[in-house]
Amino acid sequence: MYKIFFKRFVDFITAFLGLLILSPIFIIVTIALYFANDGKPFFFQERPGLNEKIFNIIKFKTMNDKKDPYGNLLSDAERLTPIGAFVRKTSLDELPQLINVLKGDMSLIGPRPLLIKYLNFYTKEEKMRHLVRPGITGWAQVNGRNTVEWDTRLKYDTDYVKNISLSFDIKIFLLTLKNVVKSKNIVVDPRSIMKDLDDERKHN
């Protein structure tokens, strides 16, 4: 009952109130990133959601578009702006995803929406992560986020799908708040500590 009906209702109301309460912060960060990123405060990228349906995830843009003399984008570390690093460290880059929640693309709690290119590299069990809406935060995020290996991270996702409930979502939400306050498990540049899933499994 919760998964089918009540969860979506809770998501919508909470996302609406969240955007309303956090609107001053949203506006300030948008303005700061507008000037830091040449008028581009937001980052849009296609991600697979519920039943692998593709949607555009919205995040605050934390890196500029600077290129080398040959027209290639510089490394992530070189393009990360000072304000962008702060926004990532405080997890404010995820704030615009409340809009995705309002639209029904995402949930507050659920497996994080990963890259489209990973779809062919999941096991049958891991594909269960797409039986629910992806979340802004999830069971994997409060258990190490980008600091745990892929197999473990994806197992956390399937464990969540199998055990989804209101009490489980509340637990994850409270643990997320705790981690944000302590800046725990936040990696400014995830690629510096782990490979992309497709690269890792191509060579296994």
Q: In this predicted model, what pLDDT tens digit does every residue of 101-160 receive, in sequence order?
A: 999 999 999 999 999 999 999 999 999 999 999 999 999 999 987 778 999 999 999 999
In total, how many domains does the chain have? 1
Percent of the chain with pLDDT over 70: 94
Cβ atoms of residues 169 and 136 within 8 Å? no
Residue 46 and residue 161: Cα distance in Å, rounded? 22
One-letter amino acid of 117: K
Tokens of 21: 């309460």
The answer to whether residue 176 scores a pLDDT higher than 80 is yes
Residue 198 and residue 195: Cα distance in Å, rounded? 8
The answer to whether residue 67 scores a pLDDT higher than 90 is no
Cβ atoms of residues 164 and 3 within 8 Å? yes
Q: Is the dihedral of CA 63, 88, 161, 132 positive or negative?
A: negative
Angle, CA of 27, 33 and 36, to the nearest 5°: 150
Residue 108 and residue 134: Cα distance in Å, rounded? 8
Q: Which domain holds residue 15?
A: 2-202
Neighbours of 164 (CB within 10 A): 18
